[in-house]
Amino acid sequence: MNILNTITAYKRKEVSAKKEAIPTRLLEKFPLFAKETKSLAEALRNSTTGIIAEHKRRSPSKSVINDKVLLPEVVLGYENAGAKGVSVLTDSNFFGGSLDDLLVAEKTISIPILRKEFIIDPYQIYESKAYGADAILLIAACLSAEELKQFSHLAKSLKLDVLLEVHNLEELQKSMLPNVDMIGVNNRNLKNFKVNIATSKKLSKEIPNDFVKISESGISDVETIKELRTFGYEGFLIGENFMKTENPGETAKQFIEKLR
C-alpha cells in the first residue's frame, strides 16, 4: 500500500475520534474562529520572492529532519527573513506536528499561515479555522472531484484561502475550481517520495493564470526558483532545505537575500 493510502486511512480513524472529543459546533465557539484571516494568495501575488517557509520536524521519507529547534523561534525567524507565508505541519503521527503548533504560530507571527494537513473530512476545515489557520491545503491525490468542490467551497465560506495540490495532469483537471485560490504542484510524488522539479515545469502551462501557481518540495537553491519564475510560478514552498539546518530562520534569510 502506498504511503498516501496509509496516511489517509490513519486520518479517517483520527478524525472520527476527534469528532467525539470536540464536536464541530464547539469548534465554532473557539475564539480564533472569529479571527479576520489574511490572504496567502494575495501575499504571494504582491511579492517578488514568494517564499512559503515550512515548519516540519520529520517526514515518512526522512524520519527526523530537526526536532531540536523551537517552533516559535523558527516561524518568527521565517517572518523576519521575509517569507510571505509560513506552512505548519499539524499531522503528528508521520510528521511530528500538532494543532498546538498552529496555535503557537498564530500567536507568534502576523504573516499568513497555511495549515499543512491531510484533509479528508470537512471537520478538519472547521478545525483549521478554530486553531488559527489563514489557508488550508487540499491534496487532489486523496480527494474525489466532488470532495474537492465541497471542501473548497466550505473553506471559502469560512474565509480560508485554498491551496490545491496536484502532482499530475489528471489531478490538475479535477482541481481547476472557482473556490481555489492557489494551485500547488508537488514535485514530490507522495506515493513513493521521489522528487523531480521537472514536474512543475511540465504542468505549468496547463494551469490557468487565474490561480496563483506554487511549486512545492525539493527546492534547495535560488537558481531553481529563478527558473521556475519563468514558468509563471509565484510561490515556492520550502521545508527541508531550511529545517535541516540549526537555524532555519537564518538559513531562510540568507536564501531570500540571494533572491532579491
Ligand X SMILES: O=P(O)(O)OC[C@@H](O)[C@@H](O)c1c[nH]c2ccccc12
Task: Give contact residues for ligand X (rule: CB under 6 A).
Answer: 54, 56, 116, 165, 186, 216-219, 237-241
135 and 108 Cβ atoms separated by less than 8 Å: no
Smallest separation, CB 3 to ligand X (Å): 10
89 and 61 Cβ atoms separated by less than 8 Å: no
Helix (H) or strand (E) holding 184: strand 182-186
For the record, the C-alpha cell of 117 comes out as: 494537513
Residue 37 or 241 with smaller CB distance to ligand X: 241
In this structure, how many other beta carbons lie within 10 angstroms of the beta carbon of residue 118?
24
Q: What is the Cα–Cα distance from 260 to 257, expressed in whole angstroms?
A: 5
Residue 111: name the closest of 241, 252, 257, 246 by CA. Answer: 252
Residue 82 or 184 with smaller CB distance to ligand X: 184
Question: Which residue number has the CB closest to ligand X?
Answer: 239
Residue 177 or 238 with smaller CB distance to ligand X: 238
Catalytic residues: 54, 56, 116, 165, 186, 216-217
Smallest separation, CB 115 to ligand X (Å): 11
Smallest separation, CB 36 to ligand X (Å): 26
